[in-house]
Chains A and B, each alone.
Chain A
Amino acid sequence: MTKYAFYPGCSLETGGIEYGMSSHAVAKALGIELLEVPDWNCCGASSAHMTDHLLSLALPARILALAETLPVTEIVAPCAACHARFAAVEYELGRDEELKQKVNSLLERPYTGKVKLRYYLDIFSNPETLSEIEKKVKKSLKGLKVACYYGCLFVKPPKIVNFVDDPEDPQSMDNIIRALGAEPVQWPYKTECCGASLGVTLEDHCTKLCNDILGFARDSGADCIVAACPLCQANLDMRQVTVEKKYGVSYRMPIPFFTQLIGLALGLDPKTLGFPKLFVDPVGMLKKVGVA
């Protein structure tokens, strides 16, 4: 059984709860063991790296150090912002012994770097697991057109966060979607920014960015935008009503997580996968693939 340390991050138990539910359900069905990091803390996200460089490294380094107590060699973070913070620790502390000691002097348990960061999409899109998924598909998602939305921080900047996918035209999610029988559409906004926390600090601009993304997805013929990051998903799903009001459009575009679609194709119950948690009603999309 493949084992990974699993860092849910604060979103997977709150705003992105369906991402957590579907991740666990799908992992179980595929024989992947996700071991939660004990007593994990928040990674600090962009608030920490805007505030203090050392803080922005110490918070994720504590998590990585705790992951070293688990019987694993790799850790995954389903949130792009958390992933990017872990990548920053590996990149910066891996190159600077003095900085590593400085960070470790703040921690009760030192970070050694023995548990490596793995790109979350890659634990499903690697060739072995992908063929496993193909074998286990019970309910093909044929006919469903999907805009794969990776967001920024899983793939940018490639030198630091990712060695698997292309930062401008990533393919791992597209390959997963194809394995499920659905069709990934060609569209130009795969890795454009959703505005992240500008939803709180400069809402108008966040609304504009989300409108651009939703508009391109619709114009590309997509039935839904599939997300891999809980913040992107929340902006596009929860704030879609704000976008529609401001721009006088009606998208009604469901924004499921990629793990929810894998689960559907594996024949799991939409409720177990957290579909009722989505703000934009996914029932039309579910009907199209014959599960509602």
Chain B
Amino acid sequence: MGEVNLSQVMDRNRSFVDRVIEESGQDIRQCYQCAKCSGGCPGSSAMDYPPNQIIRMLMLGMKEEVLNSHTIWVCMGCNTCTTRCIRDIQVAAVMDTLRQEAVRAGYVDKAKLVLSFNDSFLWTVRTFGRLFEPGMAMINNMKTGNFMKDMQFGLPLMLKGKASMFPHRIKGRREMKKIFEKVQGGK
């Protein structure tokens, strides 16, 4: 059996974990695994690791497993975990940071549907200033190849006057474009 250099791996992942702590502003080292976050999590039954395990895995430096998990993409940010954390950790904020880290590091296999939704949503906001749902749904369905997704709601929404054929364009579109360009280029 060859030599395994544990310290090198630990070093590399420690910088990742340190970055998660800094970017989220949450000191996950305070966690003592009471698992209240997972007990109340409405997404846990659809996750591969419940939130308390994600926190523990981070502390053990399991970067790949964490960034490759379904969990971070199932979390809907309801903040029940954050509300109940006895150690004052904003667990949902850690999930936000992990999603951004996963995209940056290219762990996107399990994120395709969420990323395509977010991109479609934000594209309409960037272009018109407000969300334009029919446009978002169409772009999203083309990106995912699931052309009929939610199309059964299209006509009833139109008939009830709940969807417009055309987007509303705000006056400050140039400002919106500038905001998007600066944040995307400024990282």
- Residues of chain A at the chain B interface (Cβ within 8 Å): 10, 13-15, 17, 39-42, 44-55, 58-59, 62, 84, 106-108, 152-153, 156-158, 167-168, 191-193, 195-202, 205, 208-209, 238, 276-277, 279
Contacts and interface: CB of A to CB of B under 8 A. Distances in A.
Given A41-B125, A42-B125, A201 B117 contact: yes
B76 A198 contact: yes
Interface in B142-159: 149-150, 153, 156-157
Contacts of B90: 157
Contacts of A192: 42
B35 interface: no
A53 to B, nearest CB: 7
B117 A193 contact: no
Interface stretch (B4-12, B60-68, B161-169): B161-169
B106 interface: no
B31 interface: no
Given A84-B79, A157-B90, A193-B78, 9 more contacts: A14-B162, A40-B170, A50-B118, A53-B23, A106-B179, A153-B79, A156-B83, A202-B46, A279-B160
Most B CB contacts (10 A, CB to CB) among A14, A107, A158 go to A14
A13 B161 CA distance: 9
Interface of B: 23, 42-43, 45-46, 73-74, 76-80, 82-83, 90, 92, 96, 99-100, 103, 113-114, 117-118, 121-122, 125, 129-131, 133, 140, 149-150, 153, 156-157, 160-164, 168, 170-172, 175-176, 178-180, 182-184, 186-187
Contacts of A42: 125, 129-131
Contact of A62 (B45, B172, B187): B172
B157 to A, nearest CB: 7
Given A48-B122, A193-B42, A15 B74 contact: no
B118 A14 contact: no
Contact of A47 (B42, B80, B122, B168): B122
Contact of A51 (B74, B118, B150): B118
A202 B113 contact: yes
Nearest to A66: B172
Given A50-B118, A55-B179, A167-B83, A200 B133 contact: no
A156 B80 contact: yes
6 contacts: A44-B125, A46-B77, A49-B96, A55-B180, A156-B80, A195-B42
A214 to B, nearest CB: 14
Contacts of B140: 200
A205 B46 contact: yes
Nearest first, the 7 A-B pairs at minimum CB distance are A193-B78, A152-B78, A10-B131, A156-B79, A47-B118, A47-B121, A193-B42
B117 A200 contact: yes
Contact of A201 (B100, B114, B161, B164): B114
Contacts of B77: 46, 49-50, 196
A47 B100 CA distance: 11
Contacts of B172: 39, 41, 62, 108
Most B CB contacts (10 A, CB to CB) among A106, A107, A208 go to A106
A193 B76 contact: yes
